[in-house]
Structure 1
Amino acid sequence: MFHFLVMSGINFFSAENLELCLGYVLVFCNDSVHIELSTTPFCCWTSWHGQLVSLFYHFARKTVVFLAAFGMLLLYLNVLQFIMKDYNFCSFHSGLIHVACVCAGHNTSRDVITLVKSILFHRKNPLHFHFITDAVAHKILAPLFQSWLVPSLQVSFYDADNLKPEVAWVPNKHYSGIYGLMKLTLTKALPTDLAKVIVLDTDITFATDIAELWAVFRKFSGPQAIGLVENQSDWYLGNLWKNHKPWPALGRGFNTGVILLLLDRLRRIDWEQMWRLTAERELMSMLSTSLADQDIFNAVIKQNPFLVHQLPCFWNVQLSDHTRSEQCYTEVSDLKVIHWNSPKKLRVKNKHVEFFRNLYLTFLEYDGNLLRRELFGCPSQPSSESLRLQSALEELDEDDQCYEFRRERITVHRVHLYFLQYEYTPTEDDADVTLVAQLSMDRLQMLEAICKHWEGPISLALYMSDAEAQQFLRYGQASEVLKNRKNVGYHVVYKEGQFYPVNLLRNIALRHVNTPYVFLADVDFLPMYGLYSYLRKSITQLDMSHTKKALVVPAFETLRYRLSFPKSKAELLSMLDMGTLYTFRYHVWTKGHAPTNYAKWRTATTPYKVEWECDFEPYVVVRRDCPEYDQRFVGFGWNKVSHIIELDAQEYDLVILPNAFMIHMPHAPSFDISKFRSSSSYRYCLSMLKEEFHQDLSRKYGAAALKYLTAERNI
């Protein structure tokens, strides 16, 4: 052996000979090379280096045979040359792993994120996700991945509507509906140059590096083109209940929650024609599928057993009610992939279910920001957004006293739109209005009350951690009030940084409004009963579609946690006179709402116009194409004031509504207002941001903007 090593020199180190050398195995997957010792893959050339140096030292010390040691040194040098010259282990091409999922609707769009987190947590390779989505899932997932900024990750979307004609003719009783059949179409849906792909259900959790599963492709032999784990229930044996007649299957059948597909082989044997003919034949007697695509895959394999490569059961440990999954593994450490393939999901019965549940919850509540890490030794081409962010960061001065404020402005937060089920039907009068607000976890209790006071559509941005988002999900699913409201869009913005990004949250809620008008409110306020219908009438009467108007809803407050909410303006005035209610912030920040002219409002019966004044920050109704909020203002201070200035600069008329009101409910001071009150540095930075805002305003609106700076300096 060693004589052969020395004599053959550099020509020896072909891929074929390396497979025979000293128990090392070269694993080829998607043109990438991995070295394996036992079952551990080494994905970067540094692992080759360490293993071979150790091996060289071992032989030199143990055998004291110079020829052997010299041969091993040649092996090391030539393998290193082989790697560096012919292969780039961590390039986006050679190490790229392709994963496909079918994803439709709000719930599945949430579930798939837990799957993605579990994959990203363990992975050491670049990934390319291929999502077959409906319009809802695409609207959610596209901005989510765009804002996630995960390095070495590509995402592609394919419209499920284009694939529906391929499978719509197949009757399906499974709860997944037509989307449960979409995996049959992947040879057509995915790019023709894509040779192989791992296909996953969204209720999967990975407990290992997905590269290990990808490496199984090399074990396919002959005509094998589909890798599957045997079904771990007795479903296809037909003995679960009397007269149970399942689709035909090979033995116990196979589960399609995890599939390895050699797409190029399937295309060569005309997979589309094969599954169609099989389905047509079986449907004549079965009438419909019970387990969606799984029934058809099994029927095809029954007729063509050569197609299947059986995967070890730990690649799909199935946790449905009738499975015998515990027979698949001896220790929970043996697990690779957990499949929650039961409508009961986490409530399924299994003796190790607590372990499985904890593993799932780990990724469910895991901070997704931590998955933005670079892959060591695997550089990738950064996205345009990453380059823009890096450039903006380099322009900041870290010695600047207000560095953290300026950095917050360019921070990219992960955004999960429409976190819960959302439905909206446009009104015929084209005067519909959405209440827009933002909140954090400590204001969650206001949601039910707001929904009771406002029957119209609502757009909310919620600032939460991953764990808090799951708390909110449980709260929303348990609340009878929230469950019955489908016209509320909940948009989760994940926490990052030390400040509360109030204006970013407002802008996200504003951007995802479906009505022509918006009521820009805060979550601490309860609108008067009937305000929704009153605003719609006012919008029409004041011809807002053809004029620039901002309708002001006068704000009041109570210091009582329990309030008998006034049902009319007359009741409100009575409570105002009795001291139960006050004009908003009259004792703390009178200027904020003084231009409303509450004295005039008491007797007003028609809308009246007011002029802008310094520090005016009313709550207004405007067209949804209004200016966005200035995101430089975070935490406490000037976040609404700056927006009203912008409206005035764009010549919006401020019109007070005579029969509208909203009441601020008491709550503990926010963390940001506490910092404002206690930190001179915080107040200094806010003044600097105000100065820069005025400068930008002057550049944007010219001399007309000088009045705002003058008013500010005259205070």
Structure 2
Amino acid sequence: MCVFLSLEINEICCAVSDGRSLLLSACLVESTEARLLERDVLASRVREVEEENRQIRLQLSQSQGLAAQPVEGNYGNQQWAASADTGPEDVENTAEERANHSECSRSPTAEKCELIHVACVCAGHNASRDVVTLVKSILFHRRNPLHFHFITDTVANQILSTLFQSWMVPSVQVSFYDADELKSEVSWIPNKHYSGIYGLMKLTLTKALPSNLSKVIVLDTDITFATDIAELWAIFRKFTGNQKQVIGLVENQSDWYLGNLWKNHKPWPALGRGFNTGVILLYLERLRRIGWEQMWRLTAERELMSMLSTSLADQDIFNAFIKQNPVLVHQLPCFWNVQLSDHTRSEQCYTEVSDLKVIHWNSPKKLRVKNKHVEFFRNLYLTFLEYDGNLLRRELFGCPSQASSESTELQHALEELDEDDQCYDFRRERIMVHRVHLYFLQYEYTPTDDGTDVTLVAQLSMDRKSIVQLDMANTKKALVVPAFETLRYRLSFPKSKAELLSMLDMGTLYTFRYHVWTKGHAPTNYAKWRTATTPYKVEWEADFEPYVVVRRDCPEYDQRFVGFGWNKVSHIIELDAQEYDLIVLPNAFMIHMPHAPSFDISKFRSSPSYRYCLTTLKDEFHQDLSRKYGSAALKYLTAQRNI
């Protein structure tokens, strides 16, 4: 019906065009009055058909919209049609709104370069790790500038602020808000959900976020986007015009709020199946206007008198509030929050639509959730988990640049490089600022009072009894950790030096790279280490690349040596040039486990160009070393030439 009507109008418009051309061709024999009359008749006919078309659309929307549930905006729109203060103009607007839900209508889109605001509550190491995958999925699809608002604890603030500062994604702003300052707002609510107190903090966003921020998309950290977030942002325009709708949500896809999961199951009150709060459109300006903070508090206080605690954190309170005020909710299509917990009916959603927008891993088991299509969703998640975030540093063409000074300086440095240089990739990597994700795993740190703190870069067991004795805090020492390797993929790690020596004698372990690159670790003097009981000093030799423990203020790795080859070698050279003593620890050791060859070592083995560039970089390193340390650095160049 819709397609036919649009074609009819197009045909009439074509007739007008053809009629004018005919009139022009006949203008020599027609009078001016006749031409004007003919044009008026055609124009009148166009207006008549347009009016007929509008009336048919209105009739269709009234008959279909009242008989069937609309795709979105259900509760708010139905309440509007039934409200006593709705006038004829409002009824027509509501009917036209329903017409927009037909298959013929187009989804609204965000304005070009419109700033989109996204809020997340993120606390602790695990959530900080999860939210990066969410952010990468958003950045991959986005075409608009973004402003992320993070409610964080101290741990997440440090991790994410460092990450975004080093990431330097153009047209992305980040703001942080202290979760500790908000705890008192929700700490009085007993909560059984695994998210703890942080699972209640979305209730406080009208207070936490800036007062001049009118709209925000609120997301859980276990969300993956499969489309441009601007499509979701544009739905704010569908919030009904008399400003009653303030919250956009997707219906819950589990039976939780129906209360029939087990005997005596008593959930919080909800409208039907209730709504899931993993994805929320919050119209902050309108929420503040209706006194949201007081309203949700009254709701929570009333229900806690009988419920005693929440089971699903903020979601219980949102649903209890919506049941009392259904006119305030704008229902979103299910594909904006496909929920993958064990007991959901999400399959009913994603088998009925052709386009999935947002995947929500709303289960404590996350990727191990039971779902017959879980492999498809898991692969989508893993795509963004493993995606190189540096590739997302792309400009938004046609939008004003919001690049930081660091990003601008980096861009100038990159532009000065010669792209025809055979070693361009190496030189580019040297000046690139790489993303830094602090404390990727759970980490707790308590400083010591004696200045003997140690940060380990590799998995090893060491005697700290050595740090104090060797006066590491006041002397230049690099403690060499003897390295061994096994060819077995499963190994019972030796618990002592005696056990390691036994495995070495039986052939279960070998000295590191003894069969392919003995020079790398030969100066460690493994024969002496077998019987050593105290630390001993060794001398630098060409290509020596041991694993070492050094002070924090030691020389940093030379970033020109990226990928495979000479990164540890060049570092040990510079330590020796700065007169660090190389001291082997007698009771410390590490074991290298077998793994597939890296991409870079494969390039080194197969590409003459790669090996040529590595040789070129070695020569440049020696030149820089000579300028830096003078004649003392000649021994390194001489040793290299004698190999």
User: TM-score of the superposition, structure 2-length normalised?
Assistant: 0.72
Alignment check: 8 A CA contact 2:245 2:329 kept: yes
For the residue of structure 2 that corresponds to 1:158, the secondary structure is strand
Match of 1:609 among 530, 537, 541: 537
Match of 1:224 among 237, 242, 245: 245
Match of 1:201 among 200, 205, 220: 220
Match of 1:687 among 591, 615, 625: 615
Counterpart of 2:119?
Answer: 100
Counterpart of 1:112?
Answer: 131
The amino acid of 1:90's aligned partner reads K
Q: CA deviation at 1:599?
A: 6.2
Q: In 1, distance between residues paired with 2:581 and 2:11? A: 81
Give 1 or 2 for the bigger CA radius of gyration: 2
Q: CA deviation at 1:178?
A: 0.7
Q: CA deviation at 1:179?
A: 0.9
For the residue of structure 2 that corresponds to 1:332, the secondary structure is coil
Alignment check: 8 A CA contact 1:90 1:379 kept: no
The reply on whether 1:548 has 2:476 as its aligned counterpart is yes
Question: In 2 relative to 1, CA 260–608 (structure 1 residues): closer, same or farther, beyond 3 Å?
Answer: closer
Question: In 2 relative to 1, CA 382–620 (structure 1 residues): closer, same or farther, beyond 3 Å?
Answer: same
Q: In 2, distance between residues paired with 1:99 and 1:705? A: 54
The reply on whether 1:310 has 2:337 as its aligned counterpart is no
Counterpart of 2:270?
Answer: 249
Match of 1:281 among 302, 305, 315: 302
Matches within 5 A, 1:566-715: 591-593=519-521, 595-596=523-524, 604-661=532-589, 672=600, 676=604, 681-701=609-629, 704-709=632-637, 712=640
Q: CA deviation at 1:395?
A: 1.6
Q: In 2, distance between residues paired with 1:316 and 1:662? A: 47
The reply on whether 1:173 has 2:189 as its aligned counterpart is no
Matches within 5 A, 1:103-182: 103-182=122-201
Q: CA deviation at 1:550?
A: 1.6
Q: In 2, distance between residues paired with 1:662 and 1:353? A: 39
Alignment check: 8 A CA contact 1:609 1:655 kept: yes
Question: In 2 relative to 1, CA 59–362 (structure 1 residues): closer, same or farther, beyond 3 Å?
Answer: farther
Q: In 2, distance between residues paired with 1:687 and 1:235? A: 65
Counterpart of 1:28?
Answer: none
Alignment check: 8 A CA contact 2:556 2:571 kept: yes
Q: CA deviation at 1:160?
A: 1.8
Deviates more, 1:415-424 or 1:253-262: 415-424
Matches within 5 A, 1:117-516: 117-220=136-239, 221-325=242-346, 331-333=352-354, 335-346=356-367, 359-360=380-381, 363-364=384-385, 368=389, 371-423=392-444, 431=452, 433-437=454-458, 454=460
For the residue of structure 2 that corresponds to 1:129, the secondary structure is strand
Question: In 2 relative to 1, CA 349–169 (structure 1 residues): closer, same or farther, beyond 3 Å?
Answer: same
Alignment check: 8 A CA contact 2:125 2:156 kept: yes
Structure 1 stretches lacking a partner, 5+ long: 1-22, 24-37, 39-53, 73-87, 438-449, 455-530
Question: In 2 relative to 1, CA 559–133 (structure 1 residues): closer, same or farther, beyond 3 Å?
Answer: closer
Q: CA deviation at 1:245?
A: 3.2
Counterpart of 2:466?
Answer: 538
Alignment check: 8 A CA contact 1:569 1:659 kept: yes
Question: In 2 relative to 1, CA 615–57 (structure 1 residues): closer, same or farther, beyond 3 Å?
Answer: farther
Q: In 1, distance between residues paired with 2:572 and 2:165? A: 31
For the residue of structure 2 that corresponds to 1:623, the secondary structure is coil
Deviates more, 1:609-618 or 1:400-409: 609-618
Question: In 2 relative to 1, CA 294–559 (structure 1 residues): closer, same or farther, beyond 3 Å?
Answer: closer
Q: CA deviation at 1:183?
A: 0.3
Question: In 2 relative to 1, CA 623–122 (structure 1 residues): closer, same or farther, beyond 3 Å?
Answer: closer
Question: In 2 relative to 1, CA 290–673 (structure 1 residues): closer, same or farther, beyond 3 Å?
Answer: closer
Question: In 2 relative to 1, CA 687–179 (structure 1 residues): closer, same or farther, beyond 3 Å?
Answer: same
Q: CA deviation digits over 1:194-231, x for unaligned, max 9?
A: 11111122233434432232222223233332222333
The amino acid of 1:642's aligned partner reads S
Q: CA deviation at 1:713?
A: 5.4
Q: CA deviation at 1:168?
A: 1.3
Query: Highest relative contact order (Cα 8 Å, sep 6+), 1 or 2?
Result: 2
Q: In 2, distance between residues paired with 1:658 and 1:135? A: 39
Counterpart of 2:112?
Answer: 90
Question: In 2 relative to 1, CA 163–613 (structure 1 residues): closer, same or farther, beyond 3 Å?
Answer: same
Question: In 2 relative to 1, CA 408–209 (structure 1 residues): closer, same or farther, beyond 3 Å?
Answer: closer
Q: In 1, distance between residues paired with 2:488 and 2:235? A: 65
Q: CA deviation digits over 1:111-166, x for unaligned, max 9?
A: 33443344334333222222222233334433444454443332322222222222
Alignment check: 8 A CA contact 2:243 2:286 kept: no
Q: CA deviation at 1:383?
A: 3.5
For the residue of structure 2 that corresponds to 1:539, the secondary structure is helix
Alignment check: 8 A CA contact 1:103 1:131 kept: yes
Alignment check: 8 A CA contact 2:451 2:473 kept: no
Q: CA deviation at 1:537?
A: 1.2
Structure 2 stretches lacking a partner, 5+ long: 25-38, 47-109
Question: In 2 relative to 1, CA 296–709 (structure 1 residues): closer, same or farther, beyond 3 Å?
Answer: same
Question: In 2 relative to 1, CA 123–639 (structure 1 residues): closer, same or farther, beyond 3 Å?
Answer: closer
Q: In 1, distance between residues paired with 2:541 and 2:371? A: 66
Q: In 2, distance between residues paired with 1:212 and 1:60? A: 37
Paired residues in the alignment total 552
